[in-house]
Amino acid sequence: MNVIFFALVAIAFATAAWHQLRWDGEGEAPMAQLTGGVIDAAGGAVELAIALIGVMTLFLGLIKVAEAGGLLAILARLIRPLMVRLFPDVPPEHPAMGAMILNLSANMMGLGNAATPFGIRAMQALNQLNTRPGTATDSMVLFLAINTSSVTLLPTGVIALRAAAGSSDPAAILPTTLFATLCATIAGITAAFFFRRLFPLPAAPPTPPSDGDTEPQPAKDPFALPEEPTQETTAMPPDVDRPYPGWVSALALLGFLALIPLSVLYGQAIAPWIIPSLVLGFLTFGLLRGVRIYEVFVEGAKEGFYVAVRIIPYLVAILVAVGMLRASGALGAFVAFLGPITGPLGLPPEALPMALLRPLSGSGAYGIMASIINDPDIGPDSYVGYLVTTLQGSTETTFYVLAVYFGAVGIRRLRHALPACLTADLVAIIAAVIAVGVVFGSL
């Protein structure tokens, strides 16, 4: 991100300097326009973060109520039969299985950072089964491919940003995000199974011979799971180990798949009902599960407040860089060059920088998306606005995820992890273009 941030600023400065040297004295000087763009973008970033606080606290409060009521455990029990079949080399009762299920369940609910501790614990547990230290196993790669493309039922952060940008229908992207993430997940799984043939596992190191009757002691794994997992990052509901009967999971899967065509065909009619229904539904669920919904909601809302405040520096940095690009004329030239190529494919050039940056930097892509939907000439409820917010909710910061998860267990040989995850990202972009075009009338 350091290189990307510097490159954006340097390109903007060089473009404005070139225009300044050729300036004929009419109108505002290019460097003065660049200065105004910097100041306006910095102030706009803070205003955006302040507008985001209210909606972010609302959604994280609701998610906290659902989590306290056991919604994650219910989702985990539903998808466990499928996970057992996808990961036959992971014992069903191994800690890795429970951690992976909880990580994917949290991603489904759009919990973002809350899913990361479960993911790291899953990677640590998978590494206990790894007979080739430092090399990613097939299960590790498949887990990351599913993680980076995870089906998203509720992209809370993107909905909050759309609401802060003045969208008349912040939840309109739910059907398009659901379709795009489902396609990406299928592509990620398929790619992981396909590429594993091209990147076979190396031979396992030989086991050192034992000395007499003394059994060899394995080397201590510095990344091994602790004896007693800490409550903050690794606690798992006991119900995860008791999956629902197979027919219940099958019915749930069929019902979920039936939502895809319904949401795409009737997404615009359903969208106005979504947010009020979520508020009532989550509170009702928590109440029926014996949760003290008011206190728990307030506790989760506090997290939303701090999250919204913490992102202000990231928003200022990337929005200033994008504002400089726009004020210097570099962004306009880029759009004019790519327009004839990407426009007919359903990917307007305004959205292309965000699509390209998303796998590299989550904060960078988030800032570009924010600048696009807050642009008065575009807005959150335009085709471009729907597309970039769908892309944000349906793709992942792939390089960051690979670095964090593999770095947590000392994996140096990634094997087919990168091509599998990037395949899922590419399919997510294509599926998002198709879904937004169908739902919002471009196709």
Residue 216 included in any domain: no
More confident residue, 95 or 237: 95
Residue 388: predicted pLDDT:
92
Residue 147: predicted pLDDT:
85
Tens of pLDDT along 280-322? Answer: 888 998 899 888 889 988 887 887 677 667 667 766 777 788 7
Residue 36 included in any domain: no
Residue 317 included in any domain: yes
Across 209-223, 230-244, 253-267, 301-315, least confident range: 209-223
Q: What pTM does this model have?
A: 0.67
Q: Quick one: which of 363, 416, 351 has its CA closest to 387?
A: 351
Percent of the chain whose pLDDT exceeds 70: 77
What stretches of 207-276 adopt beta strand conformation (E)? none
Across 182-186, 256-260, 340-344, 425-429, least confident range: 256-260
Residue 17: predicted pLDDT:
92
Mean pLDDT, all residues of the chain: 77
Tens of pLDDT along 109-144? Answer: 666 655 666 777 788 889 999 888 889 999 999 999
For 45-68, what is the mean pLDDT? 74
Residue 15 included in any domain: no
Residue 114: predicted pLDDT:
58
Residue 138: predicted pLDDT:
93
Cβ-contact 439, 176 below 8 angstroms: yes
Give the pair of three-digit tokens for residue 56: 């972010």
**HSE-CB for 204 with a 13 A CA cutoff:** 7
Residue 324: predicted pLDDT:
85
Q: Is the pLDDT of residue 249 over 80?
A: no
Residue 386: predicted pLDDT:
93
CA distances from 76 to 230, 237, 240 (A): 20, 10, 6
More confident residue, 247 or 149: 149
Cβ-contact 104, 121 below 8 angstroms: no
Across 331-335, 377-381, 387-391, least confident range: 331-335
Residue 233: predicted pLDDT:
39
For 390-413, what is the mean pLDDT? 80
Q: Is the pLDDT of residue 226 over 50?
A: no
Residue 342 included in any domain: yes
Q: Is the pLDDT of residue 215 over 50?
A: no
State the total domains in the chain.
1
Residue 362: predicted pLDDT:
64
| Domain limits for position 172 | 74-200+238-268+313-439
Model confidence at 107, pLDDT cuts 50, 70, 90, reads confident
Residue 243: predicted pLDDT:
64
Tens of pLDDT along 61-91? Answer: 877 787 788 876 776 677 777 888 888 888 8
Residue 227: predicted pLDDT:
36
More confident residue, 415 or 318: 415
More confident residue, 271 or 397: 397
Q: Is the pLDDT of residue 163 over 80?
A: yes
Across 126-140, 199-213, 365-379, 387-401, least confident range: 199-213
Residue 274 included in any domain: no
State the Cα–Cα distance between residues 328 and 321, nearest whole angstrom: 11
Strand, helix or coil at 57? helix
Q: Mutual orientation of helices 417-439 and 398-407 as an angle, nearest 10°?
A: 140
Percent of the chain whose pLDDT exceeds 90: 14
More confident residue, 140 or 353: 140
More confident residue, 399 or 371: 371
Residue 277 included in any domain: no
Residue 224 included in any domain: no
State the Cα–Cα distance between residues 37 and 325, nearest whole angstrom: 9
More confident residue, 332 or 196: 196
State the Cα–Cα distance between residues 7 and 33, nearest whole angstrom: 19
For 393-403, what is the mean pLDDT? 76
Q: Which amino acid is at 117?
A: P
State the Cα–Cα distance between residues 116 and 97, nearest whole angstrom: 15
Strand, helix or coil at 214? strand
> In sequence order, what are the residues at sequence separation of 6 or more whose Cβ sits closer than 8 angstroms to the Cβ of residue 23?
29, 30
Residue 232: predicted pLDDT:
39
For 256-273, what is the mean pLDDT? 64
